[in-house]
Structure 1
Amino acid sequence: MAKKGLSARQKWDEALAQIASLEKELSSRLWQPLSGPQTIAYESTADETFYGGAAGGGKSFLILGLALTSHQNSIIFRREYPQLKGLLKDCRKILKGTGARYNSTEKMWSGLPGGRNLEFGACQHEDDVEKYQGRPHDLKAIDEITHFSKSQFKFLTGWLRTDDPNQKCRVVCTGNPPTTAEGRWVIEYWAPWLDPKHPNPAVPGELRWFATLDGKDIEVKSGESFEYTDSEGKTETITPRSRTFIPAKIEDNPIYMKTGYKSVLQSLPEPLRSQMLKGDFAAGVEDDPWQVIPTEWVVAAMKRWKQRCHISMTRPTPMTCLGVDVARGGAAKTVIAPRYGSFIDKLQKHAGKTTPNGGAIASLVQVELQGDAYIHIDICGVGSSPYDICVERGINAHAANGAGGSSARDKSGKFGFINKRAEWYWHLREILDPTSGDDVALPDDPELLADLTAPKWKITSSSKIQIESKEDIQKRIGRSPDCGDAVVYAFGNVEFAIWVEDIATWG
């Protein structure tokens, strides 16, 4: 009740404050998030949140709760209308006794507390998204996001807006790991959290910022706006958007834990069991059939590296070679890969701006070089200057010219190579093959894992192996695979063998 002696404006402000307090109290009575991941997702400030992973973590209730307690104008999507039955049933539970009404024709709730609006939608066919063109909502929630295509997701979320400056606009997606190839775009979109090969992994709930530059999603350092000139020379101000992923498992939901639902998930066959029980996005995801080096082979080499480090036998032989991938300025890195027989030590990474010229790169190499070891240094592009300076200083340097011709054959003897780059990458593939017995050990480095598993290959009409160019890889993954190339150079250009002292030292 308004106090006596107050001005009309003060009375109005007090009435508004009382209404807001009552709405907040009513909202808390309607629904409150479970403590733990569901609350973290509810309170996240990310522009685009992906919540879920495992089954039973309270995904559907999160988006319903957000729509009914935190947003003014919401829409919740499923791929097909029949799939909305469960959401509608849960919504009725929350709204029981509030007087809210559901229009089954419009798929719309009316009479919601606080004057909120909640709509349900579906996009069974690819072009069904056009039905929602131009219709603004401050919450776009997509349940079971892996059932949608990426183009549908981008179209539907393109109309996220509000005219209320105090209302946060959010995209919230929920879902389990994809069970079909069509849903794997989600792993790429939220790669810092979901892709085990991502070079810079993110922790759950961490905000990462992304901008669309020349049609590609590129991760940037912060949410600050910046000027960008596109490939056609047009400059515009870009404002990045934030993403996050928050995992949830059935253990986070005390309600389902009491019902025995966990035992149902435990009984599922693999890889469905790992996907639904553990929220494992890597389960059931296979490599591209034309991936040069299988992911499992690289992971196995990294496990061997950790084992050797554990027994303090990291360098069982003198230094053999330094593989050097060169960058002068820019976003790329100069990477040095020290090789000791079959063992690659930790990669030395230097930002391009710290290696502005050939002399600076040659000095870095000179410091790292040991004993009778040689360097195998990239001379394509800017690499020729560091190589020349190394030779002038009397350093045992060998030029790594990936574009050069190759007369080598693969182990089977059936295929040749289109150039040296193909020969060196294929050579690394062959010695990483678990059946080779070479037992190569690679540093446990997410960026290296991502780089070595990025290139693809094909057979030319002349029966030669061709590896995807560095430029094409950079366009596809949005960065230069510098770490992978450095390791390839470390093993390239020389005959590889396992030294006797390796076997005698670490077995």
Structure 2
Amino acid sequence: MAKKGVRQEWEEALQQVALAANNIVPWKPLPGPQTMAYTSEADELFYGGAAGGGKSDLILGLALTAHQNSIIFRREYPQLKGLVQRCRKILKGTKAKYNSTEKVWSGLPDGRSLEFGACQHEDDVEKYQGRPHDLKAIDEITHFSKAQFKFLTGWLRTDDLNQKCRVICTGNPPTTAEGRWVIEYWAPWLDPKHPNPAAPGELRWFAVLDGEDVEVESGEPFEYTDKEGKTELVKPRSRTFIPAKIEDNPIYMKTGYKSVLQSLPEPLRSQMLKGDFAAGVEDDPWQVIPTEWVLAAMERWKKDRHISMTRPTPMTCLGVDVARGGAAKTVIAPRYGNFIGKLQKHAGKTTPNGGAIASLVQVAIVGDAYVHIDICGVGSSPYDTCVERGLNAHAANGAGGSSARDKSGKFGFINKRAEWYWHLREILDPTSGDDIALPDDPELLADLTAPKWKITSSSKIQIESKEDIQKRIGRSPDCGDSVVYAFGNVEFAVWAEDIATWS
């Protein structure tokens, strides 16, 4: 007779408990990180990192034993197959049944409910609008955009005072640039550059203040007065990250899965075996600006920031991306030759008209610097107001035609937006660029590495539209556009003069 494996022995023992106890779910967390995550008090928990740490089992176990009304998401429906199969094994011997059409389990002990969902496209989240659950679990969180995550978790609630509500996310380190928002969201645990790192499982509290995600001192409610002078009572939410590796899963350790992870090529090996969030993230081959080029520019900024602030280099330009109301921001990028100062970000609700934006520009501008201001959409009124006030304003019309060529001379541009983005790419190129220094700003990094490009049939470079980028990443790339405008060519002679002055 073949010897039983660890998993088989574990599950058979639990099945006997279930049958003896009349429809009790035969599951309990593994000792170590999985138990730590199961008992965590965090409102929003990220569990995982490495592969094989029992991520999927954790969210299934929580849904089946600790919550009344749960939903588990994957990005695409076919990816749910493994979760469904594992759920069948856990529930073997109970009265539970699965409806594959509705993707809902019925007959669960204690009247619990569990369903599965997917959001392949950005706007698929609307299918789940207004549907409350006390457990929102997102498996492989780095496959989702931040906008999807925030929308799906927006209806986390229950009418049972004894039921805890929580968000559980699982996943490995991101393998694409689009998943990097996760590192920013759980920065105290995942960002090695964070000034105040947190220990695994340690609770930190966060609140959204004036549209920004801000870490606060504790979970105690506090009164906050926003930029419009309105005061409200804010209740912070707790957040944590608990790492798990294959060594924490005795079942997978017995079956030799670790050797599979050890055989992966780098950086996938470090990501999946060690849960290394600092390992390289592969760029899309049609990404306009390579991530490493932007990171190099940010390293130059950090290295020279204290020197740059005392240099006699005059302000060259203000790049202004305009927002009037809504979730977008008005962002001002001050440029000093090849150095961009700290971005000035203003919530759209604080810049409702041209006068408000022009006033911000007047405060920010120094000397004879010119203003390159976005006039597409809502930007024409701020531009007109800047001109009326005697500012050296130039219209940034990204939809306008372009007669410029790339450095090779082979390609033209479909419009000014493509020309300006490609110009920034060229001056960031480490082999032939101009040693541009960009602020060490995670939002700016995400914005500049989001756009993709292609060559049209007329041999012109076309950059992904702002609207399409917004749909894909879930927000407007306002910080990136402001820097693009700061370096956008009003006159090539101006740029040449700036470089000469800086050097």
Match of 1:382 in 2: 378
Alignment CA distance shift 1:186-1:476 (3 Å): closer
Distance 2:331 2:281 in 1: 30
The answer on whether the counterparts of 1:323 and 1:490 sit within 8 Å (CA) in structure 2 is yes
Distance 1:81 1:471 in 2: 34
The CA RMSD over aligned residues, in Å, is 5.2
Q: Which amino acid aligns with 1:304?
A: R
Aligned-residue offset at 1:344: 0.2
* Paired residue total: 406
Distance 1:140 1:321 in 2: 55
Q: Which amino acid aligns with 1:248?
A: P
Distance 1:248 1:49 in 2: 11
Distance 1:390 1:471 in 2: 26
Alignment CA distance shift 1:139-1:150 (3 Å): farther
Report whether the alignment pairs 1:332 with 2:316: no
Q: Which amino acid aligns with 1:343?
A: F
Alignment CA distance shift 1:33-1:311 (3 Å): farther
| Alignment map for 1:83-482 (pairs within 5 Å) | 108-110=92-94, 129-130=100-101, 132-133=103-104, 135=106, 138=112, 140=114, 150=120, 165=160, 174-177=170-173, 192-193=185-186, 246-250=241-245, 253=248, 269-280=265-276, 283=279, 285-309=281-305, 315=311, 317-482=313-478
The answer on whether the counterparts of 2:34 and 2:58 sit within 8 Å (CA) in structure 1 is no
Aligned-residue offset at 1:338: 0.4
The answer on whether the counterparts of 1:139 and 1:171 sit within 8 Å (CA) in structure 2 is no
Distance 2:63 2:321 in 1: 51
The answer on whether the counterparts of 1:374 and 1:398 sit within 8 Å (CA) in structure 2 is yes
Aligned-residue offset at 1:439: 0.7
The answer on whether the counterparts of 2:28 and 2:61 sit within 8 Å (CA) in structure 1 is yes
Distance 1:427 1:441 in 2: 15
Match of 1:97 in 2: none
Aligned-residue offset at 1:109: 3.0
Distance 2:379 2:485 in 1: 13
The answer on whether the counterparts of 1:33 and 1:42 sit within 8 Å (CA) in structure 2 is no
Aligned-residue offset at 1:328: 2.3
The answer on whether the counterparts of 1:139 and 1:172 sit within 8 Å (CA) in structure 2 is no
The answer on whether the counterparts of 2:51 and 2:246 sit within 8 Å (CA) in structure 1 is no
Distance 2:307 2:398 in 1: 36
The answer on whether the counterparts of 2:373 and 2:393 sit within 8 Å (CA) in structure 1 is yes
Match of 1:487 in 2: 483
Alignment CA distance shift 1:284-1:72 (3 Å): same
Match of 2:499 in 1: 499
**Quick check: 469-478 or 482-491, which moved more?**
469-478
Aligned-residue offset at 1:295: 1.7
**Quick check: 185-194 or 383-392, which moved more?**
185-194
Aligned-residue offset at 1:315: 4.8
Identify unmatched segments of 5+ residues in structure 2: 1-20, 73-78, 136-157, 192-196, 215-236
Q: Which amino acid aligns with 2:404?
A: A
Aligned-residue offset at 1:59: 3.8
Identify unmatched segments of 5+ residues in structure 1: 1-22, 92-106, 111-116, 122-127, 197-201, 210-218, 222-241
Match of 1:237 in 2: none
Distance 2:65 2:84 in 1: 25
> 1:499 aligns to what SS in structure 2?
helix
Write out per-residue CA displacement over residues 161-202 of structure 1, whole angstroms, 9 at most, x where no aligned residue: 9999566687866554578x9xx9987899845999xxxxx9
Q: Which amino acid aligns with 2:36?
A: T
Alignment CA distance shift 1:317-1:129 (3 Å): farther
Distance 2:400 2:384 in 1: 18
Distance 2:441 2:409 in 1: 33
The answer on whether the counterparts of 1:139 and 1:169 sit within 8 Å (CA) in structure 2 is no
Q: Which amino acid aligns with 1:109?
A: G
> 2:101 aligns to what SS in structure 1?
helix
> 1:376 aligns to what SS in structure 2?
strand
Report whether the alignment pairs 1:43 with 2:40: yes
Write out per-residue CA displacement over residues 180-236 of structure 1, whole angstroms, 9 at most, x where no aligned residue: x9xx9987899845999xxxxx99877999xxxxxxxxx999xxxxxxxxxxxxxxx
Write out per-residue CA displacement over residues 419-452 of structure 1, whole angstroms, 9 at most, x where no aligned residue: 2111111101111111123110111111111221
- Normalised TM-score (structure 1): 0.63
Write out per-residue CA displacement over residues 330-382 of structure 1, whole angstroms, 9 at most, x where no aligned residue: 32221110000100000111122222222222221112111221111122233
Distance 1:161 1:350 in 2: 34
Q: Which amino acid aligns with 1:108?
A: K
Q: Which amino acid aligns with 2:412?
A: G
Distance 2:60 2:364 in 1: 58
Distance 1:220 1:472 in 2: 24
Distance 1:187 1:129 in 2: 33
Q: Which amino acid aligns with 2:353?
A: N
**Quick check: 319-328 or 383-392, which moved more?**
383-392
Write out per-residue CA displacement over residues 387-439 of structure 1, whole angstroms, 9 at most, x where no aligned residue: 22222222222121222221111111011112211111110111111112311
Aligned-residue offset at 1:108: 0.9
Write out per-residue CA displacement over residues 240-270 of structure 1, whole angstroms, 9 at most, x where no aligned residue: xx997734134994979x9999999677541
Distance 2:42 2:385 in 1: 51
